[in-house]
Amino acid sequence: DAGITQSPRHKVTETGTPVTLRCHQTENHRYMYWYRQDPGHGLRLIHYSYGVKDTDKGEVSDGYSVSRSKTEDFLLTLESATSSQTSVYFCAISEDLSSYEQYFGPGTRLTVT
Amino acid sequence: DAKTTQPPSMDCAEGRAANLPCNHSTISGNEYVYWYRQIHSQGPQYIIHGLKNNETNEMASLIITEDRKSSTLILPHATLRDTAVYYCIVRVLNNAGNMLTFGGGTRLMVKP
C-alpha cells in the first residue's frame, strides 16, 4: 500500500469552528488531492496541489482552503465548518500528471453538528 | 469527461468470474477507461485502465469494445475480499487537475 496517512480519522465538531485535516505521504509524489465523498454525489475534488506552495481549486472548493509547505504534507482547512461539510474526506496522491493511478488514504469521517 | 452507466448491483459466486459492465457511449478519442474499487470504509483503489486495447494485470482484465462505447471489467476468480463498489471512469489523461469523478458504481457482492 502507498504510504498515505490521514489525521484525524474521525472528528466531530460544531458549526462555526475551524477544522484542519492532515494528509501525510511518504512516497515523495508531486501531486496531492483532497476529495469528499457523499451519498448520491460520488467522489468530488475539493483542491489539489502540484508542488510545494502550488495549489488549485477543484469542483467543490467553496468553504475550503489548503496549504502545502512540504512535499509530504497537504492540509485541508475548513475555516468555519458548516453542516453541509459533514462528509468523508479522502486524500490521494499521484506521481505526476501523466500517472494513471491515484493512491488514496484511508479517509477522515467529519461530522459537523 | 464522458459519463458512464453501470448497473447498481451484481452478485457473483466465490471462485467464479465476475464480469462488470460499463457503458460510456459518449467517450471521446483521447479518453481512457479506468476502473477503481472501494471496499467498505476504505479509500478507493486503482484496478486497471485502458484506451483501446484489452488489458490485463494481476488484479483483473479489461475488455473494451471496438467502438469504445462500452467495457467490461473481469475478475477471473472472485473471492469474498472482492466484495466492493466498483467504479468505471472515463477521463482524459493529463487534464488539468487530473481529477477523478466517481459516479454511483456497481456494488459487487461475492457470495460463498
User: What digits encode the pLDDT tens for the residues B57-72?
Assistant: 999 999 999 999 999 9
First to last CA, chain B: 37
**pLDDT interval class at B31 (50, 70, 90):** confident
A20: enclosing H helix or E strand: strand A19-25
Q: Are residues A21 and A35 in contact, defined by beta-carbon separation less than 8 angstroms?
A: no
What pLDDT does A14 receive?
Answer: 97
Query: Facing residues of B94 across strands?
Result: none
Residue B18: φ, ψ to 5°: -105, 125
Short-list B13, B19, B35, B22, CA closest to B79: B13
Of A42, A97, A103, the CB nearest to B102: A42
Cell of B12: 457473483
Each residue's pLDDT tens digit, A64-90:
999 999 999 999 999 999 999 999 999
- What's the whole-number average pLDDT of chain B? 90
Probe site for chain A from B98, B101, B107 (most A CB atoms < 10 A): B98
Of A43, A56, A94, the CB nearest to B101: A43
Residues of chain A with pLDDT under 70: 1-2, 97-99
Q: Give the three-state DSSP class for A100.
A: coil
